[in-house]
Structure 1
Amino acid sequence: MTDNARPINGPRDVMRLKRDDTTGLEAVAARFHSHAYDMHFHDEWLVGVTHAGVQDFFCRGRRRQSTPGRVILIEPGERHDGQAVAADGFAYNMLYMPQSLVRSAMGGNDAHIGFRETLADDGQLFHAVARACEAIFLEAPRLMIEDCRDQVTNHLGRHLARHLGQDVTEKGSAPHPVAARAMDYLRARFDEEFGLDELAEAVGAADRFQLSRGFRREYGTSPHACLVQLRLAEARRLLREKVAPAEAAALSGFADQSHMGRWFRRAYGMTPAAYRKGRTNVPEIAMKSR
């Protein structure tokens, strides 16, 4: 297992992260007063529980607030942020679940499943997530952690079965061709420098304005913001392989190490060096059309 505990912005902002390599689960335990996450997204299913305070986040077009006892449910690729709205802050656990676990819970296919709401009152799922996070942090015996994993997976599967409300047609619809080509271009050339006009011409958009409007409509963000996330994803991959931060910055398309560091801290609340020292789960580039 890997473990990483550190202050974020001040002495009252603390986050602890641990990965269980056997199950692939990663757990977060945090108390925030002043720290705020930028908008970001993950490649895993996120199932979180609020233990104290009010946990405020923006997702699916509006702000939402989780209070003690509630469960937060975020799908892969869903953009969201997070912050406190009161002086006493909030405390929470978050469990990052590989997509393969959710597929197994739903009979091997998660292509058309999703959460109707991002907040739920599900006591069984709440306690299963809290127990799983505790087991991971305590480095419990493997059998116990695997049992906790199965309990979360089973409760999550039942929750999904009860609350299936995803519009399958909307989920399965293809993104706008120009936006899709732009995404492919960004993925293939994230380490290169190019302007918006050049990108628009390369993907067959009428102009940069049409490109920007279409891209934001499909992916909920700008081409530049997506490019930064792609570069961060590559930087994280390199750092996990113990590549030095300066080299990781150059290989992932950032101007230099300090440039990468500024974006890294804004997105993940930690430095590249801290991530390299103890790998934790941070947002993945898993954009999907709305």
Structure 2
Amino acid sequence: MAKDWLELRQHADTGIETIRAHFEGHAYDPHWHDSYLVGITLTGTQQFHCRRERHRSTPGDAFLLEPGEIHDGDAPVEGGFTYLTFYLDDKWLNNTLSGLYESVPSSYALHFSRTIAREPQLVQTIAQTFYALHSDEMRIIQQSTMDALLGQLTRHCQWRRRLPSQVQSAAIAHRARDYLHAHMGDNIGLSDLARETGTDRFTLTRCFKREFHLSPHAWLIQLRLAHARMLLAKGELPADVAAALGFADQSHLGRWFQRAYRLTPAHYRRLCTNLPDQGEK
């Protein structure tokens, strides 16, 4: 039997989640986050697919993923792997970066130039920031380590602008994405998305996959899961979250949630809030 375990904390001031975990064998199915993901591998070998490549992260490696980047995870070597990671909110990160630069270009997106980075100073700074947040150090230490981390991360970032040939396809995909955001709890069909974007279902799906690397229905599931995490972290009950986000029932939410995060919704809620389960599964 796999000896998997997971520790999760939510930072009170920023809402940043810090996770330290160990997995053996299959860790998690393909999924994405709506935040920047920063972490390091502590022991073993962590294997995952991202940006259409297979990556292997070992001790001494930092891994850097952007919002929306699909990734999975497994342990290809006996003994599994242990890692630590935390999530940086997109808006929070861009607002904070404005303190490092005289101006931040509004028409560009922050982009990690590499998924895996083997640089001792970056790895050390990630570890220091993680433990300052995870162990609830003094605020001045937390904020100092986070400032040092942002200074390190900017060396691995670039401001990315779209090529003109991508604009039309991306516009269709982003209009569809915005519609999914606005109607994430509804029973949405491809015909609804095609009508809203002024195209047909096949063109819509092709543009959406090109932009987001997932079909619209798979992306909608991930969107619902991301919002489920947010609502559960605020203390809402799994059954209420399932109903609000368009899952058939609490069990339906639970199956998808555990596949993506290796936690039940109730367990995740308890880790974030320390509230009792109240009989929820």
Whether TM exceeds 0.5 here: the answer is: yes
Find 2:199's aligned residue among 188, 202, 205: 205
Identity %: 42
Find 1:228's aligned residue among 207, 216, 221: 221
Find 1:250's aligned residue among 243, 249, 253: 243
Per the alignment, do residues 139 and 180 of structure 1 end up closer, same or farther by CA in structure 2, a change over 3 Å counting? closer
Q: Which amino acid aligns with 1:179?
A: A
Per the alignment, do residues 121 and 15 of structure 1 end up closer, same or farther by CA in structure 2, a change over 3 Å counting? same
Q: In angstroms, what is the RMSD of aligned CA positions?
A: 2.5
1:126 and 2:123 are equivalent in the alignment: yes
Counterpart for residue 33 of structure 2: 42
Counterpart for residue 196 of structure 1: 190
SS of aligned partner of 1:267: helix
Find 2:96's aligned residue among 83, 89, 104: 104
SS of aligned partner of 1:191: coil
Are the aligned partners of 2:32 and 2:222 in contact in 1 as well (CA < 8 Å)? no
Counterpart for residue 18 of structure 2: 27
The answer to which of 105-114 and 242-251 deviates more is 105-114
Are the aligned partners of 1:73 and 1:119 in contact in 2 as well (CA < 8 Å)? yes
SS of aligned partner of 2:112: coil
Are the aligned partners of 1:40 and 1:80 in contact in 2 as well (CA < 8 Å)? yes
Find 2:270's aligned residue among 270, 277, 289: 277
Q: Which amino acid aligns with 1:134?
A: Y
Q: Displacement, 1:135?
A: 2.4
Q: State how far apart, in whole Å, the 2-side matches of 1:255 and 1:24 are.
A: 29
Are the aligned partners of 1:70 and 1:122 in contact in 2 as well (CA < 8 Å)? yes
SS of aligned partner of 2:151: helix
Q: Which amino acid aligns with 2:186?
A: E
The answer to which structure, 1 or 2, has the higher relative contact order (CA under 8 A, 6+ apart) is 1
Are the aligned partners of 2:33 and 2:226 in contact in 1 as well (CA < 8 Å)? no
Unaligned ranges ≥5, structure 2: 274-281
Are the aligned partners of 2:125 and 2:149 in contact in 1 as well (CA < 8 Å)? yes
Counterpart for residue 82 of structure 2: 91
Q: State how far apart, in whole Å, the 2-side matches of 1:112 and 1:199 are.
A: 25
Q: Which amino acid aligns with 2:89?
A: P
Matched length: 266
SS of aligned partner of 1:249: helix
Q: State how far apart, in whole Å, the 1-side matches of 2:15 and 2:64 are.
A: 18
1:16 and 2:7 are equivalent in the alignment: yes
Q: Displacement, 1:101?
A: 3.5
Q: Which amino acid aligns with 2:250?
A: Q
Counterpart for residue 286 of structure 1: none
Per the alignment, do residues 55 and 171 of structure 1 end up closer, same or farther by CA in structure 2, a change over 3 Å counting? farther
SS of aligned partner of 2:111: coil
Find 1:182's aligned residue among 169, 176, 179: 176
1:136 and 2:133 are equivalent in the alignment: yes
Find 1:157's aligned residue among 154, 157, 161: 154
Q: State how far apart, in whole Å, the 2-side matches of 1:25 and 1:197 are.
A: 37
Per the alignment, do residues 169 and 197 of structure 1 end up closer, same or farther by CA in structure 2, a change over 3 Å counting? closer
Q: TM (normalized to structure 2)?
A: 0.84
